[in-house]
Structure 1
């Protein structure tokens, strides 16, 4: 989905659909998303917002702080709709991308079916989606380059014949091939491989020497051979990180404890979502690297028997940050990391470790309430408020889909 964050901002604001839009990162640091109108105005992605602000204002482009809650809700609804329409299960690859197995769709109906998916998402969610169909994942990703470049395709690119993807590959820079990063791009271009077509013709032995089996598979995929299966059951995470830069630097211990408690609770919700237990927890804090005397440190502790209880994770995190805290510093960031994650059904419990009664039931209720009424509807007292450590998001739009008080209102008469 093209410029997904920007598109989400426009769904509930029909008055700005003809305006350029940019979205900033945490604490309004850099521009992380921009639409075509913003690009045409000369605004650059991943450049500091404060440096580009005069240009943004002169061009009449609107700036929004990242509203991850909104983007996640819109994404979830789109993926749910696609899952209902798709002939088989889908693989959610990222917040704005997924793979679908179209093998059950007759070749002559592929374009019509892709158009149906695109039109349905536009009608139901107000998001313009690009659909590309090809024999392999890498070629399907390559097809998205055509969708964005050639408006005559009307958002649908079907690559079923070798001459079709070969024509496209000759016009796509090698850096735009799925899985080819900046360092590998530089190595390939020193060998004279500038396009996806050049990479597709690279000898297998040379590819294996340069980047191993991963590059060999990418080349095979560019040649129309499916080497990467659609994964409808993504693997559980091996670790979970929850951290943020503070909206303003903190000097006292109490806000740091509230912050790591908040992060631990958020990590705990993700842990339970994948039905895992955590057996090791890490907390870290740091000042800005540009401070005269920077400070950063971390502590870890084992959790015998494992846990997915936010209360225990919070208690441990709060105790560790108290040990890490040093007066006289201005702390800019903190984080909680959950390590040694094991499936709840396979974990071996420690008979000597105390376990809270009704923990599973309580956490299930807590998660259910927060899903229904919005994140933070039920929280631990230890979390306090977020005013001291919350991200700076001065231009954040309302959470139209997850907070009752921010639902759009219609005025008649």
Structure 2
């Protein structure tokens, strides 16, 4: 049996954990630079607040209905996510973190569980008791069915936060109430193509011939059909494959014209990319560096450059150093830069590298390990390359940022008795 535990409106609910004054109020969370709404709590959803709409377009509506607005507090979310995952991991012998608020469970040695529905509530209560985060729990004989059950636990009527697909009746009941695009792996574009065949629900898809779906669409769709029929096709390594490209990009809090500020921003992005690359055990062969003005400007400007390393690397110093080699090709005086970014492409696995007898190694694993450990323990940016100096002109705008209750001494909640 597989399980999927997913937090309900994670960002918005995380804002309420340490702030009792907003627990019974509608809350929305904004994206980088307070641009769009990315998370909506159930109370805000009842008001009809949509996701991914620019904040300025709905600002008056939010004020009228006393909706609490928060900037994305990534430090807080990451810490609460780690706490939540530690609790969830206790309830199975195999645990795979799929995203910041979502994790799969695989039960190999849990044949003693007679009531999966009750066991799901045990998990929910433990997570709530230790983190004050509400979660939905779904169980199924395949990863796709577990994902479908999790969807039902939170979105379909008749469920109380836990759903189980363990027989033909429960499978038909849930899949027949799910639209095609609610099925894991079926996006909007693919859903439109499938709808041309008269398919409307997950149950319709499950009743198709897997071989026909493969010939008309892809192996991925064939696997989805088999999984919906209780035949496991996906494994951990297939749902968590290493990324082939890793980017760090962001628009500026205010326009940037100074070359030193732009270079610092690019260096910061390069440092983030190097850290992410090391995290998944990869090395960078090519680095993409770009900067642009706003596409809404009269004279739109965008320049990018690809730097190729002579030897693949994950060394932050080498990745950041590449910025200096290409910067003059990107920066143009007088341009009001709106956005910039860095991306590692043509990534290679660090465990399977053919060494060059005549090229000196440019990586420094002990130094990078120390660098990562310090930043993990004391917060990202504790140790940073000098050129990536923080500057208010390019730092992310977060005007509605809540305190970092769990990662800053000054923000630790105070209890008055």
Using the size of structure 1 for normalisation, the TM-score is 0.93
Residues 134, 22 of structure 1: CA spacing in aligned structure 2 closer, same or farther, 3 A cutoff? same
Paired position in structure 2 for 1:15: 21
SS at match of 2:321: helix
The more displaced of 115-124 and 186-195 is 186-195
SS at match of 1:312: helix
Given candidates 121, 137, 144, the residue that maps to 1:131 is 137
User: Is residue 2:184 matched to residue 1:194?
Assistant: no
SS at match of 1:224: coil
User: Is residue 2:246 matched to residue 1:240?
Assistant: yes
Paired position in structure 1 for 2:40: 34
Given candidates 298, 302, 305, the residue that maps to 2:304 is 298
Using the size of structure 2 for normalisation, the TM-score is 0.92
Aligned partners of 1:278 and 1:308 also within 8 Å: yes
User: 1:232, CA displacement in angstroms?
Assistant: 9.3
Given candidates 387, 391, 410, the residue that maps to 2:392 is 387
Deviations 1:220-268 (Å, cap 9, x if unpaired)? 2222222212349943333221111111111121111000111111112
User: Is residue 2:64 matched to residue 1:58?
Assistant: yes
Paired position in structure 1 for 2:123: 117
Paired position in structure 2 for 1:47: 53
Deviations 1:270-311 (Å, cap 9, x if unpaired)? 222233332322211111111111111211222222322212
Residues 277, 61 of structure 1: CA spacing in aligned structure 2 closer, same or farther, 3 A cutoff? same
Paired position in structure 2 for 1:274: 280
User: Is residue 2:326 matched to residue 1:326?
Assistant: no
The more displaced of 332-341 and 99-108 is 99-108
SS at match of 1:56: helix
Separation (CA, whole Å) in 2 of partners of 1:213 and 1:175: 18
User: 1:350, CA displacement in angstroms?
Assistant: 4.2
User: Is residue 2:80 matched to residue 1:87?
Assistant: no
Deviations 1:12-55 (Å, cap 9, x if unpaired)? 11221111111111111111110121111121111111111111
Separation (CA, whole Å) in 2 of partners of 1:375 and 1:100: 29
User: 1:9, CA displacement in angstroms?
Assistant: 0.8
Paired position in structure 2 for 1:401: 406
Residues 145, 275 of structure 1: CA spacing in aligned structure 2 closer, same or farther, 3 A cutoff? closer
User: Is residue 2:258 matched to residue 1:262?
Assistant: no
Aligned partners of 1:200 and 1:222 also within 8 Å: yes
Paired position in structure 2 for 1:76: 82
Separation (CA, whole Å) in 1 of partners of 2:77 and 2:238: 22
Paired position in structure 1 for 2:4: none
User: 1:125, CA displacement in angstroms?
Assistant: 1.0
Q: Give 5+ residue unaligned stretches, structure 1.
A: none
Aligned partners of 2:94 and 2:107 also within 8 Å: no
Aligned partners of 1:172 and 1:196 also within 8 Å: yes
Separation (CA, whole Å) in 2 of partners of 1:350 and 1:206: 48
Residues 213, 363 of structure 1: CA spacing in aligned structure 2 closer, same or farther, 3 A cutoff? closer
The more displaced of 226-235 and 364-373 is 226-235
Deviations 1:123-153 (Å, cap 9, x if unpaired)? 1111111111011122111112321235753
SS at match of 2:135: coil
Separation (CA, whole Å) in 2 of partners of 1:366 and 1:409: 32
Residues 350, 22 of structure 1: CA spacing in aligned structure 2 closer, same or farther, 3 A cutoff? same
Count of residue pairs the alignment pairs up: 410
Separation (CA, whole Å) in 2 of partners of 1:169 and 1:273: 37
Residues 273, 149 of structure 1: CA spacing in aligned structure 2 closer, same or farther, 3 A cutoff? closer
Residues 233, 148 of structure 1: CA spacing in aligned structure 2 closer, same or farther, 3 A cutoff? closer
Q: CA RMSD in A?
A: 2.1
